[in-house]
Amino acid sequence: MGVIGTGAERARTLRQNTGSGSLRVEGMIPPQEASARRREIEDKLKQEEETLSFIRDSLEKSDQLTKNMVSILSSFESRLMKLENSIIPVHKQTENLQRLQENVEKTLSCLDHVISYYHVASDTEKIIREGPTGRLEEYLGSMAKIQKAVEYFQDNSPDSPELNKVKLLFERGKESLESEFRSLMTRHSKVVSPVLILDLISGEDELEVQEEMSLEHLPEGVLLDVVRISRWLVDYGHNQDFMNVYYQIRSSQLDRSIKGLKEHFRKSSSSSGVPYSPAIPNKRKDTPTKKPIKRPGTIRKAQNLLKQYSQHGLDGKKGGSNLIPLEGRDDMLDVETDAYIHCVSAFVKLAQSEYQLLTEIIPEHHQKKTFDSLIQDALDGLMLEGENIVSAARKAIVRHDFSAVLTVFPILRHLKQTKPEFDQVLQGTAASTKNKLPSLITSMETVGAKALEDFADNIKNDPDKEYNMPKDGTVHELTSNAILFLQQLLDFQETAGAMLASQETSSSATSYSSEFSKRLLSTYICKVLGNLQLNLLSKSKVYEDPALSAIFLHNNYNYILKALEKSELIQLVAVTQKTAERSYREHIEQQIQTYQRSWLKVTDYITEKNVPVFQPGVKLRDKERQMIKERFKGFNDGLEELCKIQKAWAIPDTEQRDKIRQAQKHIVKETYGAFLHRYGSVPFTKNPEKYIKYRVEQVGHMIDRLFDTSA
C-alpha cells in the first residue's frame, strides 16, 4: 500500500509538472515512461541545484562588495570632515579681508566726494561770475555742482563757512540766470510788423497762406535757451518771478503790435484810401501780393446809394434832396471802424500765437494765470476803445447824429462773429477776463437798440420848419436821411435784429432766432416808414398851395417806393406788411389826382358844362360876348399862372414827370381844343388874337415844360 500510495502521489506530481490531463490507463505507469520521467526530473533538479549554488555565490560576492563600499565611504566622509574643518576658517578670514578692503575703498571714495564739495566754490566761481551768456550748458552744469554742494553741507555741516559760500554762489548764479532770461526775452521779443499782421488776418480764408504765416516770436536757438532757463528756475531755483518778467515783456510786445497796426491802418488809409498787405515774406520774392482789406464801408456805401437816389432823382436827372453828405467825417468814421475791427482780429491771432509760445516756456500749472496777465493790457485797450465807441454813439444819439451811431453796427457784427475764437483763446482765464467781450457786446446792443428807437421817434417828431422845406416840392431831407439809415441796416440785418431782440422781455426773444429777429427788424422798418409818412403829411401842410403839397408828397412817396424796390428793403417790409408796395402806389396815385385838381380852375373856364349854348348865325348879345371873352381870358391867365408857378416845381423821377405831364396835357388839350373849336370862329370880339392867344399845340408845349427850371 505504501508503495502504491507513493506511486500514486508521483503520478499526480508528474501530471502537474507535465500538464498532462490524465493517464491514458488507470493504474500503473509503464516502466519506460517512468524511467524517462525520472531522468527528466533528475536533470531539472540538478539544474536547479546549480542555479541555487550560483545565487549563493553571488550573494556572498555582493555582501563582500557592500562591505568594501561602506568602508570606502566611511573613509571619504572622514576625509571630508577633516577638509571642512581646515577650509572654513580660511574662507571666513578671506571674506573678512575682502569686506575690509571694500570699506577702505568706499571710505576713500566718500572722502574724495566730500573733498570735492570743498572745491566746488573755487572751481565754479569764475564761470558764475562771467555769467551764462554764450555757454548756458556749461553754466547749468556748474549750477548743478553748486546745488549738490549746498545740499551736502546743509545735511552734514550746516554750520560750516563752506555752506554760506556755496549758498551765496548759488544765489548769485540764480540771479544771473534770471537776468539772462530777462535779457534774452527783451532783446529778441520784437513787435510784430503791421504788414505781417495784415497778412496773417487776410490769410484766414486761405489755408495755404495761413500755414505759411505762423509767427516766429523768438529765434529757435534763443527759444531753446529760454526754455532751459525757465525749467531750471522752476525745478531747482524754486523761482516764479521770471514768469512776471515774461508776461510783462510779452504783454508790452502784444500791446505795441496792435497799436502799431492801428497806426499803420490810419496812415495807409489817409495816404492811399485802402490799407493793404504788401507781401507775404518768402512766398514770391519777385511778385509782392497786395491784398485789399475787406472794409465794411457802410456809411460810404449808403451815402453813395443816397446820392444816386437823391442827386440824380432816381433816374439820372438833377434834383432831389437837400442832404449834404459829410464825406470827410464819414471817411474818418470808416477808417476808425475798420481799424478797430482789424485790431480785434489781430488780437485774436496774436493771442493764439502768444499762447503757443507760452506753453513752451511757462510750466503747465502756471500757463493760464500767466496768459491771463499777458493779454490784459491789449485786451483792456480794445475794450476801452470799444467803450469809447459806445460812449461816442450815446452822444451822437443825443444830438440826433444817427450816421455816427452806425459805426457800432459793423463792429458789433464783427465782435459777434469773432466771439467763438475769443472764447477759445480766453479759455481758462479768469471770469472777469472772459466777461469783458460779452459786456462790450451787451453795451453795443443796448446803445444800438437805443439808436434805433430814437431814430424812429426822431422821424416821427421832426419839427415842421418852413425854412427847411424844399421850395420846389422835391424829396425832403428827412426822407433821404430815413432811407439812408434804413439802407445801411441792410448790411446788418442780423445785427440790427439782434439789437431789437435784446430789448424784448418776452420769452420768445431769449432764443434770438433768425426768423424772430427778422420779423422784429421788419416791424421796425415799417414803424420808421409809418412815422415818416405821418411826418411828411404834417410837413406838407406847410405849403399854402395844395398842388405843391401834393407834388411834395408824391415825390417823397415815389422816392421811398423806388428806394425800397431798388434794394432788399421791400423784401424786409413784406415780412410783416404784405401790401406796402401797393399802398405806396395808391398814395402816389392819390397825390397825382390831388395835383390834377389844381388845373380845374383853368379848365373850369372852358368846360362845356359851364358854357351856354349859342345858336349858329344868331347875333351875340353884348353879355354873351363878354362871357366868352372872360372864358378865354380866365383860361389864358390861369394857364400862364400855373405854368409859371409849376415850372419851378420839381419831379425828379422822369417816368413820373412824363406821366403827370402827359395826363394833364391830354385833359387840358382835349378841353381847350373842344372850346376853341366851338368859339374860335364866333365873332365875339374885333381883336380875336387878344383872347385866342394859344393854339392847342402851344398849350401842350407849355405843359411839357412843367417841372423844368431850365425850360
Which candidate, 596, 509, 519, 512, places its Cα nearest to that of 554? 596
Q: Which of 133-142, 326-335, 392-401, 631-640 has the lowest mean pLDDT?
A: 326-335
Tell the burial category of 85 from Cβ atoms under 10 Å away from its Cβ (0-12, 13-18, 19+).
exposed
pLDDT at 412 over 90: yes
d(CA 58, CA 63): 9
pLDDT at 185 over 90: yes
Q: Report whether 408 contacts 502 (CB < 8 A).
A: no
pLDDT band at residue 84 under the 50/70/90 scheme: confident
pLDDT at 114 over 60: yes
Q: Name which residue leads in pLDDT, 531 or 105.
A: 531
**Cell 524517462 sits on residue:** 36
d(CA 572, CA 497): 11
Question: Strand, helix or coil at 411?
Answer: helix
Query: Which residues partner with 291 through β-bridges?
Result: 277
Residue 652 sits at the vertex; the CA angle it makes with 650 and 657, to the nearest 5 degrees, is: 80
pLDDT band at residue 277 under the 50/70/90 scheme: very low
User: What is the pLDDT averaged over residues 428-443?
Assistant: 93
pLDDT band at residue 368 under the 50/70/90 scheme: very high
d(CA 104, CA 240): 45
Query: Which residues partner with 276 through β-bridges?
Result: 292
> Hey, what long-range contacts does 301-307 have (CB within 8 A, 24 or more apart)?
301/488, 301/491, 302/406, 302/484, 302/485, 302/487, 302/488, 303/327, 303/330, 303/484, 305/484, 305/487, 305/567, 306/480, 306/483, 306/484, 306/487
d(CA 506, CA 511): 10
Share of the chain above pLDDT 90, in %: 45
Grid coordinates of 63: 555582501
Specify the amino acid at residue 522: S
Each residue of 596-625: pLDDT tens digit? 999 998 999 888 776 666 666 667 788 888
pLDDT at 269 over 80: no
Q: Which of 58-62, 135-139, 509-513 has the lowest mean pLDDT?
A: 509-513
Residue 165 has a pLDDT of 87
Residue 119 has a pLDDT of 80
pLDDT at 527 over 60: yes
Residues 6+ apart with CB under 8 A from 544: none
Each residue of 474-502: pLDDT tens digit? 999 999 989 989 988 888 888 898 888 88
Residue 236 has a pLDDT of 87
Q: Report whether 217 contacts 353 (CB < 8 A).
A: yes
Residue 404 has a pLDDT of 83
Question: Strand, helix or coil at 518?
Answer: helix
d(CA 527, CA 482): 11
pLDDT at 707 over 80: yes
Q: How many residues does the chain have?
A: 711
Grid coordinates of 496: 440790427
Kindly report the pTM of this predicted structure.
Answer: 0.71
Cα torsion 120, 124, 128, 129 to 10°: value is 110
Each residue of 440-464: pLDDT tens digit? 999 999 999 999 999 999 998 887 7
In sign, the C-alpha dihedral spanning 454, 456, 458, 460 is negative
d(CA 513, CA 40): 129
pLDDT band at residue 294 under the 50/70/90 scheme: very low
Q: Which of 121-130, 166-175, 388-397, 652-661 has the lowest mean pLDDT?
A: 121-130
Residue 155 has a pLDDT of 84
Query: Which residues partner with 312 through β-bridges?
Result: 319
Specify the amino acid at residue 677: H
In sign, the C-alpha dihedral spanning 364, 366, 367, 369 is positive
Each residue of 672-686: pLDDT tens digit? 998 888 888 788 888
Residue 23 sits at the vertex; the CA angle it makes with 18 and 29, to the nearest 5 degrees, is: 90
pLDDT at 576 over 80: yes
CB atoms under 10 Å from CB of 652, counted, come to 27
DSSP letters spanning 152-169: HHHHH-TT-HHHHHHHHH
Cα→Cα distances 532→497, 499, 505, Å? 20, 22, 27
Taking the alpha carbons at both ends of the chain, their separation in whole angstroms is 192
d(CA 286, CA 632): 85
Specify the amino acid at residue 506: S
